[in-house]
Amino acid sequence: MLKIGIFDSGLGGLTVVQAISKVIKGAELFYIADTKNAPYGDKTTKEILQYSLDITEYFLNNHHIDALVIACNTATSASISTLRKIYPNLIIVGTEPAVKPAIEQTKTEKVGVLATPATLRGDKYQSLIKNLTTTKDVELYEQACAGLVEHIENQTLKSKESMELLKRWLLPMKKANVDTIVLGCTHYPLASSVIEEIMSKDIILLDSGRAIANRLLALLKEVGYKNSGELELNLYTTGDIDRDFVNRLIGKSINTIDL
């Protein structure tokens, strides 16, 4: 059976797992929530690279994976180039903010980007923006959302503190007539309903889950993969995790193993 390793700093990457499970069949998924080192967004590039190297080595040594999905914008920016150099024969799919489709879809030509500080300052994101903004005259409203991942992981999005943070970030976008917002962290789709509530208008929210799943399938088909059969999911965590929340997110009871 095809084996795919997926990792993120916490539960956010499960939004990518959801997207993959709708596209990929006949595979065994191994997901690591690196909650011990979460959030990645406030770590140094060197630290994030080491986490990514350690997790990839674990996947290869213990589960002999055929493909790796870095279900984290921050970790992708910090590690994907190095991982591809070290493991040239491993299929590796990273995550990047869905800025391109946002630029294509916006009607007001004003696009919001919510991301971690590390993602926004990363070379990968800066290169992406430089290339895309030359194709269409669009105004970007970038917002580093320090602390949002923690609110999502702790399920405190409806708290006064969380709502004040989100309003501080989003209301200027609303006033500026932003009509499309890029969810530049795999955790952020879990905050979609709150974001929509604050924007209180028809807002387009774009994340990377579907694009990742489609890219993974395309690469697998290039090496002869037949997309059929049952899908199995194995969850691992390096620290504390809310198992009830995981089960609700996945839609069924999943056994989570501590590493």
Q: Residue 100: in which H helix or E strand, if any?
A: helix 99-105
User: Which residues, at least 6 apart from 46, have a Cβ–Cβ distance to it below 8 Å?
Assistant: none
Residue entry with tokens 């539960």: 11
Q: In percent, how much of the chain has pLDDT > 90?
A: 73
Q: Output the pLDDT for position 10.
A: 86
Total residues belonging to the chain? 259
Say if residue 229's pLDDT is above 80. yes
Report which residue type is found at 187.
Answer: H
Task: Determine which of 90-94, 112-116, 200-204 has the lowest per-residue pLDDT on average.
Answer: 200-204
Say if residue 157's pLDDT is above 70. yes
Give the tokens for residue 3.
């084996």
Say if residue 203's pLDDT is above 70. yes
Q: Output the pLDDT for position 254.
A: 83
Say if residue 134's pLDDT is above 70. no
Give the tokens for residue 165.
């943070």
Q: Output the pLDDT for position 240.
A: 85
CATH domain 2-95+209-258 topology: Rossmann fold (3.40.50)
Q: Please provide the average confidence, as pLDDT, over all residues in the chain.
A: 92
User: Which residues, at least 6 apart from 224, have a Cβ–Cβ distance to it below 8 Å?
Assistant: none
Q: Output the pLDDT for position 241.
A: 83
Torsion angles phi and psi, residue 223, rounded to 5: -105, 20
Name beta bridge partners: 27: 2, 231
Torsion angles phi and psi, residue 162, rounded to 5: -65, -45
Say if residue 154's pLDDT is above 80. yes
**Residue 123: exposure state from Cβ atoms within 10 A (0-12, 13-18, ≥19):** exposed
| CB-facing half-sphere around the CA of 38: CA atoms within 13 A | 27
Say if residue 226's pLDDT is above 80. yes
Render pLDDT for 160-170 as a digit per residue (tens, 0 to 9): 999 999 999 99
Helices 14-21 and 243-250, interaxial angle, to 10°?
30
From 172, 201, 170, 207, select the one nearest 187 (Cα to Cα): 207
Look up the pTM and report it.
0.89
Domain with CATH 3.40.50.1860 in the chain: 2-95+209-258, 99-206
Say if residue 220's pLDDT is above 80. yes
Does the annotation mark 72 as catalytic? yes
Torsion angles phi and psi, residue 7, rounded to 5: -145, 155
Identify the active-site residue in 6, 38, 67, 72: 72
CATH 3.40.50.1860 correct for 99-206: yes
Identify the active-site residue in 49, 103, 152, 185: 185
Does the annotation mark 185 as catalytic? yes
Average pLDDT on 167-179 reads: 97
From 219, 212, 210, 228, select the one nearest 89 (Cα to Cα): 219
Q: Are 211 and 186 in contact (CB under 8 A)?
A: no
Q: Output the pLDDT for position 110.
A: 96
